[in-house]
Structure 1
Amino acid sequence: MSNALQGRVIAAFGRHYLAELPNGEILECVPRGKKSEVACGDTLEISRTGTGQGVIDRIAPRTSLLYRSDAWKQKIIAANVTQLIIVVASEPSFNDELLARCLLAAHDQKLEILIVLNKSDLPQVVAARAQLAPYTKIGYHVLELSAKQDVAPLLPYLQGHASVLVGQSGMGKSTLVNALIPAALAATREISTVLDSGKHTTTHARLYHLNPDSDLIDCPGVQLFGLHHLDFAALERNFPEFRPYLGQCRFANCSHSHEPDCAILTAAEQGKIDRRRLALFQQISAA
């Protein structure tokens, strides 16, 4: 990539991207063709086309790619991240199927995982904590905090990582970002000005620098997280509590839903696998 400019995507608006060069200069970039597969966090090879503008020649090889998909298309979320932080809240109640789907996508890309339970100062935290109990039992780390009061407990988990923040609308994710990065609102306004706000309103993700070693990518709220790109074997393998029982069912093609002598169903009956987690697997794998 020595014969061209190299930049990192820090914001995505439709087919328009902002790429940050090593010297801190920001270029507004567009792909050469109609199809675009650029993600926030990507490293690009760019040719300058004018003042503050460039065209994307190539996407550098990625270390990870977080995306969701259905039978017809895929939605790229972020590239080259090392950690997925899923934000849920005590109020409004969160969708545990969405949580399970996000976890599966993170496992597929071998990302570190942290679940943040926001609004922990509210009385409803007791119910939310109980809803997350099956996750803590199988080894997921859940960090409770109130973004409006103190986000300091989250800082050690961000250090040294390129983290991507996801969550459904209403979980307080924006409050969390603004508390972590006080300049985030100003940065958003600046990005909108550069891209002529109103023309490019579909924002896929935005990258913020926490310090020289740590970055945070914020994504719009998600209500659905398709996993059409993951096959059945990947789904069952990425339910951590299933792993001790895989290969022990009577039938090699066991769906873990109704078959006799299913090791997964037996483990659930014995209380070794949470029944709600099993139901989530059956919902996701049957979709």
Structure 2
Amino acid sequence: MHGERRVKESGTIVAAHGRQYRVELASGELLNCFTRGKKSDVACGDRVEIARSGDGQGVIDAIAPRQSLLYRSNAFRQKLIAANVTQILIVVATEPSFSDELITRCLVAAESQDLAVRILLNKCDLEAPLASAQAQLAPFAQLGTPILPLSARQSVDTLRPLLEGHTSVLVGQSGMGKSTLTNALVPHAQAATREISEALDSGKHTTTHATLYRLNAETALIDSPGLQEFGLHHLSAEGIEQGFPEFRPHLGQCRFRNCRHEREPDCAILAALERGEIDPRRYAAFLRLRAETA
């Protein structure tokens, strides 16, 4: 007797929580799905093939080739953030204070995946800390990174057209207002996350998992959990150098081919730093990144 052949269906991961996933099928139907093995390397935004295993449930059988994968890593493990995104939106705020090194690391990660990137400066209605936040972002503005000042509590109209046609992922530290932004852009977001939390039994929702929301047929937004660190252990030394656009005119100009740009004589990067062409804080972040991945 032949075993019953299960029909494969295609869908998109719209929420990832541990080894449980919410999959949206082409019809719009939502299923709770699991992976077959213990190890899970599925990310929010992944396009997958599933086989139904029961009422409203399924098993993930395959992941389609990805256009991009944003993830962070340390020496021991990697943490997937989102797949198939085309734009990273780094959310910072006038308060609480933010880490410019985290921004640098996000930019290096974006560069490694060839993704568009934009910094959103939230809470701009708070005038007192605004100048300080803008000064902290000045080195990124000088590099040509687009910075959009806004207040998610007042209006997100300036942001909407910049999302069109993209699958964007919001990344940033906790407290920067990513969820407020999401709720302003996606009116049903709170209801949807509540529903996902109940379906995946993940309790109270404080963005402990990434969630994808569709704004229209061509546009999607992924809200991700707050980051306190962004390890890039998976990048090579060359990949890290290329992630700093201000280094590029000087790469290959050092006396030594394998120059680490630390104390070597006739180092083009150190000379550019001396001339004020490279921001000292960015250079210090580069050295820390290099040391981590050595």
> What TM-score, normalized to structure 2?
0.94
Per the alignment, residue 243 of structure 2 pairs with: 238
Distance 1:200 1:149 in 2: 23
Q: Would you say 1:96 and 2:127 are equivalent positions?
A: no
Q: 1:5 to 1:203 in 2, by over 3 A?
A: farther
Distance 1:201 1:157 in 2: 26
Q: Would you say 1:153 and 2:161 are equivalent positions?
A: no
Matched letter for residue 94 of structure 1? F
Contact 2:194 2:205 in 1 (8 A): no
Q: Would you say 1:35 and 2:39 are equivalent positions?
A: yes
Q: Secondary structure at the match of 2:158?
A: helix
Residues 95-147 of structure 1, C-alpha deviations (whole Å, 9 max, x = no match) = 01111111111111110000001111212110110111111111100101111
Matched letter for residue 212 of structure 2? L
Per the alignment, residue 144 of structure 1 pairs with: 149
Per the alignment, residue 84 of structure 1 pairs with: 88
Distance 1:132 1:197 in 2: 36
Segments of 5+ residues of structure 1 without an aligned counterpart are none
Q: Would you say 1:10 and 2:17 are equivalent positions?
A: no
Q: 1:201 to 1:34 in 2, by over 3 A?
A: farther
Q: Secondary structure at the match of 2:117?
A: strand
Contact 1:14 1:202 in 2 (8 A): no
Q: Secondary structure at the match of 2:221?
A: strand
1:179-218 equivalent positions in 2, closer than 5 A: 179-198=184-203, 203-218=208-223
Deviates more, 1:189-198 or 1:71-80: 189-198
Matched letter for residue 270 of structure 1? R
Contact 1:178 1:184 in 2 (8 A): yes
Distance 2:68 2:291 in 1: 26
Among residues 279, 289, 292, which one is paired with 1:284 in the alignment?
A: 289
Matched letter for residue 221 of structure 2? L
1:105-184 equivalent positions in 2, closer than 5 A: 105-122=109-126, 123-184=128-189
Aligned residues: 286
Residues 49-70 of structure 1, C-alpha deviations (whole Å, 9 max, x = no match) = 1110000111111110000001
Distance 2:216 2:284 in 1: 41
Residues 200-257 of structure 1, C-alpha deviations (whole Å, 9 max, x = no match) = 9984300001111100000010001110000111101110010000000111111112
Matched letter for residue 84 of structure 2? N
Distance 2:129 2:248 in 1: 33
Distance 1:118 1:200 in 2: 22
CA apart distance, 1:184: 0.4
Contact 1:16 1:200 in 2 (8 A): no
Distance 1:257 1:56 in 2: 47
Q: Would you say 1:273 and 2:284 are equivalent positions?
A: no
Matched letter for residue 162 of structure 2? Y
Segments of 5+ residues of structure 2 without an aligned counterpart are 1-5
Distance 1:201 1:268 in 2: 41
Contact 2:88 2:118 in 1 (8 A): yes
Matched letter for residue 78 of structure 1? A
Distance 1:285 1:215 in 2: 34
Distance 2:200 2:82 in 1: 20
Q: 1:47 to 1:243 in 2, by over 3 A?
A: same
Q: 1:226 to 1:197 in 2, by over 3 A?
A: closer
> What TM-score, normalized to structure 1?
0.96
Matched letter for residue 257 of structure 2? A
Distance 1:163 1:43 in 2: 16
Aligned residues: CA RMSD:
1.6
